[in-house]
Amino acid sequence: MPGRARANGEGSVFPYRNGFAAYVWVEKPDGKRGRKWVYGKTREEVHEKWIKLHGQAKAGPVATRSPTVGEYAGYWLREIVKPNLAPRSYVTYEVVVRPYLVSGLGRKRLDKLRVSDVQTWINEVGRTCQCCAQGKDERRKPAQRRCCALGRCCRDLPSATTVTHLRTVLRTLLSQAITEGLISRNVASLVKLPPVRKRKRKAWTSDEARRFLESARADDPLYAAYALVLVLGLRKGEMLGLTWADVDLDAGELTIDRQLQRVGAELLHRETKTAASDATLPLPDICAVALSGRRVAQAAARDAAGPAWQPSDLILTTRYGRPVEPRNVNRFWDRRCDVAGVRRITVRDARRTCASLLADLDVHPRVAMQILRHAQFAITMEIYTVVSSAATREALKRLGKALDR
């Protein structure tokens, strides 16, 4: 049934099915021209969309069809994440996008994605064995298969942290789609998830840290690394990325501006995580002595290796001069914990130990923040508000005495 005549300025708005439609000739991202359509229930609604579309067409190329989530995710990884973020961030996003996001929501049109679609998908991921869903056991050699490929589901369910990370990645992806004008709202922001309880981090006492270092001092090639982590709070990648050019033993200073990272098949020696991580710190005597000993040990290793030595300026190297694999540091660290007879904590927790010891020594939080190179003061204060058990016992002892008068 024909609709009423178009009013002045309505252009190509006309009745379509149970509403109205309009189009504008636009330049597409591939340089060709095509029609971009808009739809709505009322003539006024479509007219507003038509006006807005004209503005977009004047501003630059406009896609004439909405991509699927899978198509846009590929573009987002390739053109937004990889050129602009750190290599490890790209790898982290990629391991979420391909096996989870694309497999679950990849066929959905981006502009048709609803909150219920995302909520159902993320709930399903949380209760699905990912070994079964991703065929992890099937990719093993037949002799090595032990669970899902043999019909024995291992219930490899993703953790609450992983599920929350899935939503974060999708929300970041959809934010970029909003910026590019492909959608008008971020449905991932409206998805409900149960709260994630943070794991309580561990830290050594000063006595445990001392025993650990004393155990490593005599013969451990990574003793200097351990000292730098516990005394100066260096991150694992930062201490592995240190070069001799970063150390001035005469001035007693250490410059931190590089890190060593394993990213996929590559071992990268690159800038630190943030600009706030860069700093020049004074070297305490224990670190200066450890580094002097490391220089002597490295020279001896170079002479012993002969032609097999691979020259570099890195402070921490293998017996053949190669960079130390970050994952191997974890194994060496655990082994040293056992030898020293102290609780096993991670290298990351050793950095937290440095912060806790500074707090126990009543070092001002602002000074600790500068030593640890935290980007935000709140991070330092989060550690400072968790006092040691010794301090807790002393406080309760004093309170008991006060109440028992």
CATH number at residue 166: 1.10.150.130
Distance CA 36, CA 144 (A): 54
Same domain, 280 and 321: yes
Q: What pLDDT does 10 receive? A: 47
Distance CA 174, CA 383 (A): 34
pLDDT digits over 286-322, tens only?
A: 889 999 999 999 999 999 999 999 999 999 999 999 9
Q: Residue 187: pLDDT above 80?
A: yes
Report the run of H or E that residue 271 belongs to, with start and end.
strand 266-271
Distance CA 298, CA 247 (A): 15
Tell me which DSSP letter residue 193 carries.
Answer: -
Residue carrying structure tokens 């592995």: 240
Same domain, 181 and 102: yes
Residue 266 belongs to domain with CATH number: 1.10.443.10
pLDDT digits over 148-163, tens only?
A: 999 999 999 999 989 9
Q: Of 262, 348, 327, which Cα lies nearest the Cα of 86?
A: 262
Distances (CA, A) of 99 to 96, 114, 121, 189: 6, 21, 13, 21
287 belongs to a structural domain: yes
What range defines the domain where residue 305 resides?
A: 206-394
Q: Residue 132: pLDDT above 50?
A: yes
Helices (H), 34-114: 43-59, 69-75, 82-84, 87-96, 103-105
235 belongs to a structural domain: yes
Same domain, 47 and 81: no
Strand, coil or helix: 37: strand
Greater pLDDT, 171 or 361: 171
Distance CA 89, CA 69 (A): 20
- DSSP bridge pairs for 16: 19
Q: What pLDDT does 6 receive? A: 47
Q: What pLDDT does 191 receive? A: 94
Q: Of 246, 269, 248, which Cα lies nearest the Cα of 256?
A: 246
Same domain, 95 and 219: no
Same domain, 50 and 73: no
Tell me which DSSP letter residue 68 carries.
Answer: B
CB count within 10 Å of CB 366 equals: 9
Share of the chain above pLDDT 70, in %: 89
Q: What pLDDT does 403 receive? A: 59
Lowest mean pLDDT across 85-89, 352-356, 398-402: 398-402
Q: What pLDDT does 390 receive? A: 61
Q: What pLDDT does 179 receive? A: 85
Q: Of 224, 211, 216, 209, which Cα lies nearest the Cα of 336?
A: 216
Same domain, 366 and 247: yes
Greater pLDDT, 12 or 22: 22
Query: How many domains in the chain?
Result: 3
Over residues 388-399, the mean pLDDT reads: 63
